[in-house]
Structure 1
Amino acid sequence: MQTLPYSALTNQHISHVYELYYTAFEHLQKVPEVRTLNDNDRFCDVLKMCLKEHLSVIPRLAMGILEIQDSVSGDECDRFMTTLLRSRISRRVIAEQHLALTETFHSPWHFDGKKSAMAPEDEFVGEIFLKCNAKEIIEKCAKTASELTAKAYGPDVAIPKIVLQGHLETTFPYIPSHLEYIIGELFRNSIQAVVEQKGTAVPPPIEVLICEAAQHVIIRVSDQGGGIDRDILPYLWSFAKGPRRNKRLQNLGQVPRLAATMQELQLPPSDPDAAEMTGEKFGSSLATLSSRPPDLRIGIGLPMSRIYAEYWAGSLELHSLEGYGCDAFLQISRLGNKNEVLSTRATMDAV
C-alpha cells in the first residue's frame, strides 16, 4: 500500500484499510512466544479479533479504488486489488486453519479413546473438507440464490430451475466457503439475468454440468439470460473500470462489512448483533457477519470469484452469447495431490 501515490493513501477508505493492517501488525508482534496451550488460546483470541475487524477491508478497498482513479490508472488499481486480495486470502486461510485445528484439539472426541468411524476429524482437516461434494454444494447454492431472488423480485416472478448433469458423485478436498462463494455468485448472476429477461413467463432452466478428470473438476453453468451487455463485457473482471462506477460506489456504501461468503447474499437480519453469533464459526469467513439484498449489485462478485479460483490453482472463465445467454466455466484443482501446481501457488504466496 505504501507504493501508492500519497494522494491515494489520503483517501479515507484506503487509509482505513492501511490502519487496519498496521494495527493488526502491532497486535500480532506483541504476542509472546506460544509455549503452552493457554498461550495458544490467548493467541487465538487475537486472531479472532483481527479476523472480525478486517471484515470491512473488501468493501472499503473497492470504494477507495473507485475514488482514486484521478491519481492511479484503472489498470494499476486492478493489479493492486488482485495482489492485495490474494495476500489477504493467504492470511485469512492460515488464521482460520489455526483456529479450526485448535478447536478440534479442544473437542471432547479428540482424546476420548472411542473415536467413531464418522468422527468429525475424518471429514475435516481444520477448514478443509476432505470430501467436498460438488452436487451438494451446487444444490445448496441454487436453493439459497433462488429463494433470495424470489424475495427480491416478488411472488409473481417465475424462478428458473437448476438442472444438474454429469458426474454427480464427484468429491474433492476444498474449503467449502470459498467454493460456495464462487458458485453462489454465478447462480445469482444467472438467475437474475433470466428473471429480468423473462419476467412472469416460464423461464428456461439453468443447466449445470459437472465434469470429473484426474487433475481437476470442471463445473459449467449455462443460462439463457440474454448474455452480457457490450458496454460491460470488457470490464467484467475489473474492480476499478466500467460504465457503472458511480452506481457501484453508491451500492458499496451500503455494505459495511464483507467476508466474501455465500451467506452474505441473505437479506439483512433484524438484529445484527444476533446475526454475528449465528455464524458457523465465530470470527471466520464462514460467519454471517454481513448481509446485502440480492438485487444490490456491487460489481466485485466475478473478479473476487476468479481470485478465489486462481488462488487454489484453478480458473474461472465466462463466455457471453449476445442475445442468448452465458456459459461460465469453473475449473477446480484437486488440492493436496501430486498434480497440484505448487510453482503457481508459491508465486501467489510470495507477496
Structure 2
Amino acid sequence: MTSPQWLKALPRSFQECARYMTPEQISNFLDDAIRNRIAVRLIAEQHIALSRTVVRDEHDNDHIGIVQLSCSPRDMIRMCASFVGDLCEATLGTSPRIDIDGEVDATFAYVPVHLEYILTEILKNSFRATVEWHQKHHSSASLSPIPPVLITISPPPSPSSPQSPRYLSMRIRDQGGGVTPADMSRIFSYSFTTAGRGAEAFEWDDADLGGGPYAAQHVGGSAAVDGPSSGAEFGSESLFAEMAGRGVQMGMGTIAGLGYGLPMSHLYARYFGGSLDFFSLDGWGSDFIIFL
C-alpha cells in the first residue's frame, strides 16, 4: 500500500474500529503502528546512507548516516518558522514573528528530519492560535501588533555522572489563548483538534483526502512517516516541499489538520528517550517543552 493509500485508509479504519474498541485501545494501536513504521524507515535510511558513504568513499565529518552530529536548533527553527509563516499568511492573512533566545548557538546530535517534523507541527499550532486569538480580541483596524512566538534553547547541562542522561531542551511559548482545562487531557489524543471546530474531536465522516480543510493533517503525517528525508542523500525534495505540494494538489491549506500532528510529534520526541510536554494558561497562552 502506498503512502497516500495508507493515510487515506487510516481514518476510515479508525471510524470503523470506534464501534468495537475504546479510544485508549485505538490510541495504543496507532502509537504502536506509527512507531514501528518510523523505526523501519529510520533503519532503512540509515543503512542506505552508510552504504552510500562506503561505496562512494564520501565521508562527512558532520554526519554518521542520517544523524547530524552538530544539528543546530536555531537554524532548524528558522527554517520551520519560515515555512509555517508562509502557510499561516496564506491561510489566515498574517503570521507572528519568532524570537529565539537562550543558548542560540547550541548544537547536538540528532536526526534532522525528526526535529523538522516536531518543530513544524508545534509552530503550526502556536502560529494559528496566536493569530486567531489576536484577531478575535482586536479589530482589523487595530494597531496592536501580533505577539511573537518565543523560543528558548537550553543546551545539555554538564552531567553529574557519566551515566546521567543529557538532553537539549527547548521551550516554545505563545500567546494564543491557551487550552481549556477540560481539553488538556486530550491534547495528545489522535483526532483531537481545536482548529475551527470549537475543540471538538473530529468526526471521520468527511475525512477523505478529497474533502474539507481538516484533511490537511494527512499531509504532515505522510511527509513525516513516508516522505523523502531532508538530507541531501535521500533526494532533492524536502519534507516541506512534499507537505506543501500535496496541500496544493488537494486545494487546501495545511496550517490546521485532523489532530495527528501533536500525537505524532509526541512519538518522535520520545523515540530516542526524549519527551514533549504541554502546559496551558487558559485565556493567555501555551508552552511546549521539548527534551531531545
Which whole-Å CA distance do the structure 2 matches of 1:80 and 1:132 have between them? 32
1:138-287 to structure 2, matched below 5 A, reads 138-154=77-93, 157=94, 159-199=95-135, 200=140, 201-214=144-157, 215-239=166-190, 243-246=200-203, 250=207, 254=215, 258-261=221-224, 281-282=234-235, 286=239
Give per-residue Cα distances to partners, 1:5-25, cap 9 Å, x unaligned. xxxxxxxxxxxxxxx4xxxxx
1:79-98 to structure 2, matched below 5 A, reads 79-98=28-47
Q: Could you tell me which amino acid in structure 2 is paired with residue 123 of structure 1?
A: D
Q: Could you tell me which amino acid in structure 2 is paired with residue 261 of structure 1?
A: A
Alignment correspondent of 2:76:
137
> Does the 8 A contact of 2:98 with 2:148 survive in 1?
yes
> Does the 8 A contact of 1:309 with 1:315 survive in 2?
yes
Which whole-Å CA distance do the structure 1 matches of 2:154 and 2:115 have between them? 16
Which whole-Å CA distance do the structure 2 matches of 1:194 and 1:177 have between them? 25
CA apart distance, 1:63:
3.9
Give per-residue Cα distances to partners, 1:25-68, cap 9 Å, x unaligned. xxxxxxxxxxxxxxxxxxxxxxxxxxxx3464345334422332
What are structure 2's unaligned runs of at least 5 residues? 158-165, 194-199, 248-252
Which whole-Å CA distance do the structure 2 matches of 1:250 and 1:202 have between them? 36
2:244 corresponds to 1:308 = no
> Does the 8 A contact of 2:124 with 2:255 survive in 1?
no
Q: Alignment partner of 2:188: what SS? A: coil
Which whole-Å CA distance do the structure 1 matches of 2:105 and 2:231 have between them? 28
> Does the 8 A contact of 1:261 with 1:285 survive in 2?
no
Q: Alignment partner of 2:168: what SS? A: strand
> Does the 8 A contact of 2:275 with 2:290 survive in 1?
yes
2:97 corresponds to 1:128 = no
What are structure 1's unaligned runs of at least 5 residues? 1-19, 21-52, 111-118, 265-275, 333-351
CA apart distance, 1:222:
0.3
Q: Could you tell me which amino acid in structure 1 is paired with residue 265 of structure 2?
A: S
Q: Over the residues paired in the alignment, what is the CA RMSD in angstroms? A: 3.0
Which whole-Å CA distance do the structure 2 matches of 1:300 and 1:306 have between them? 10
Alignment correspondent of 1:64:
13
> Does the 8 A contact of 1:249 with 1:298 survive in 2?
no
User: Which piece of structure 1 moves more, 321-330 or 62-71?
Assistant: 62-71
Q: Alignment partner of 1:304: what SS? A: helix
2:265 corresponds to 1:326 = no
Q: Alignment partner of 1:191: what SS? A: helix
CA apart distance, 1:198:
1.1
Q: Could you tell me which amino acid in structure 1 is paired with residue 126 of structure 2?
A: S
CA apart distance, 1:176:
0.4
Which whole-Å CA distance do the structure 1 matches of 2:4 and 2:171 have between them? 30
Count of aligned residue pairs for this structure pair: 256
Which whole-Å CA distance do the structure 2 matches of 1:263 and 1:309 have between them? 17
CA apart distance, 1:232:
3.5
> Does the 8 A contact of 1:219 with 1:330 survive in 2?
yes
1:5-44 to structure 2, matched below 5 A, reads 20=1
Aligned pair in 2 of structure 1 residues 137, 263: CA closer, same or farther (>3 Å)? farther
Q: Could you tell me which amino acid in structure 1 is paired with residue 78 of structure 2?
A: E
Give per-residue Cα distances to partners, 1:186-223, cap 9 Å, x unaligned. 11100000111112541111110111123111100000
> Does the 8 A contact of 2:81 with 2:120 survive in 1?
yes
Q: Using structure 2 for the length normalisation, give the TM-score.
A: 0.77
User: Which piece of structure 1 moves more, 321-330 or 231-240?
Assistant: 231-240
Q: Alignment partner of 2:222: what SS? A: coil
Aligned pair in 2 of structure 1 residues 60, 247: CA closer, same or farther (>3 Å)? closer
Which whole-Å CA distance do the structure 2 matches of 1:319 and 1:151 have between them? 28
2:257 corresponds to 1:294 = no
Which whole-Å CA distance do the structure 2 matches of 1:145 and 1:324 have between them? 22
Q: Using structure 1 for the length normalisation, give the TM-score.
A: 0.65
